[in-house]
């Protein structure tokens, strides 16, 4: 059995190397008798949020519930910070707790203090959030892509860091290839990951968007969308139409640009097909014909 399946591996603990990365280490003379792993009360005014935080939105109801819990029970799980300068700290993990504590009127919160460079900060923030909270699929995809781009790692290395199978990582990254309208619908929980994966099976962007609107208008289930996509694919195969190659698509785009109008090309698997050139009126028709005859 794949050891990655169903878990996130070592998670944040694998990225924090214990006493060597803890500012409150007994080897640090400026911190007196404090030892690695100890907890300090840090004033909220000295804490700033993490610019590498992958979460772009916090659910209001969940934040309200956490605030109520903190008012009653205090903060059970300390926030993890890194020391930036004298009396300045930055959140590694626990921004939601920090926000709730601020709303609750607390002036200080229990914290672990760590040291980390920016790459480790980014890794910590992403692994911690994916492990402990439900980021939406687009936030996860953007976070994974950021790790690849900024930390210059492969998908395989990313898979190891977040403790997910390579195929899972690949599926998340593929979501960023969808049109922005579909990404927004996924981000806003108007469609599910299953819907999005079905839409990825459609190669034509306009058909993807058309299917999205059908999902939203008719509240289609993932199974229904899968059937819809399958029927469309089968219909195309029956008609003998094939997908144009990248170079053929480029030629069509060049022709469309040259004629300053929309050009459609359909080709079957025997190499036969048709070219459809749009025009709005007689004047535009004559202009296009003149260009074609030059």
The residues carrying an active-site annotation are 95
Return the bridge partners of 241, or none: 268
Sheet hosting strand 108-114, strand order edge to edge:
40-43, 108-114, 79-85, 88-93, 47-48
First to last CA, the chain: 66
Tell me whether residue 95 is exposed, middle or buried, using C-beta atoms within 10 angstroms of its C-beta: 0 to 12, 13 to 18, 19 or more: buried
CA–CA separation, 155 vs 165, rounded Å? 10
- The secondary structure of the chain in percent helix, strand, coil, rounded to multiples of 5, reads 55, 15, 30
CA–CA separation, 99 vs 7, rounded Å? 28
Q: What is the DSSP string of 120-144?
A: HHHHHHHHHHHHHS---HHHHHHHH
* CA distances in angstroms from 111 to 24, 67, 137, 266, listed in the order given: 11, 17, 29, 63
Q: Taking the CA atoms of 281, 287, 288 and 289 in sequence, report the sign of the dihedral they define.
A: positive
Output the six-digit token pair for 108.
Answer: 């200080």
Return the bridge partners of 108, or none: 43
Contacts of 4 (CB under 8 A, 6+ apart): 159, 163, 164, 165
CA–CA separation, 208 vs 204, rounded Å? 6
CA–CA separation, 158 vs 235, rounded Å? 38
């Amino acid at each position: 059995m794949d050891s990655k399946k169903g878990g996130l591996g070592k998670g944040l603990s694998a990225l924090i190397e214990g006493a060597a990365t803890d500012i409150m280490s007994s080897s640090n003379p400026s911190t007196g008798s404090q030892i690695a792993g100890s907890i300090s009360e840090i004033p909220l005014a000295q804490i700033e949020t993490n610019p590498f935080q992958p979460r772009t939105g916090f659910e209001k109801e969940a934040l309200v519930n956490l605030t109520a819990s903190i008012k009653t029970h205090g903060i059970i799980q300390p926030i993890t910070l890194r020391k930036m300068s004298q009396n300045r700290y930055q959140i590694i993990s626990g921004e939601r707790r920090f926000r709730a504590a601020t709303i609750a009127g607390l002036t200080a919160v229990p914290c672990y203090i760590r040291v980390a460079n920016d790459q480790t900060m980014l890794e910590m923030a992403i692994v911690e959030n994916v492990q402990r909270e439900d980021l939406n699929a687009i936030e996860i995809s953007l976070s994974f892509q950021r790790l690849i781009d900024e930390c210059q790692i492969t998908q395989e290395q990313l898979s190891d860091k977040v403790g997910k199978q390579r195929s899972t990582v690949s599926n998340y990254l593929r979501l960023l290839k969808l049109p922005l309208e579909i990404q927004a619908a996924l981000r806003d929980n108007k469609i599910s990951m299953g819907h999005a994966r079905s839409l990825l099976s459609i190669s034509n962007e306009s058909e993807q968007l058309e299917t999205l609107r059908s999902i939203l208008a008719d509240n289609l289930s993932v199974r229904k969308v899968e059937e819809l996509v399958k029927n469309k694919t089968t219909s195309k195969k029956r008609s003998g139409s094939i997908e144009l190659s990248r170079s053929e698509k480029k030629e069509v785009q060049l022709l469309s640009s040259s004629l300053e109008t929309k050009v459609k090309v359909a080709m079957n698997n025997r190499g036969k097909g048709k070219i459809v050139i749009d025009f709005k009126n007689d004047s535009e028709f004559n202009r296009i014909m003149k260009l074609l005859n030059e």
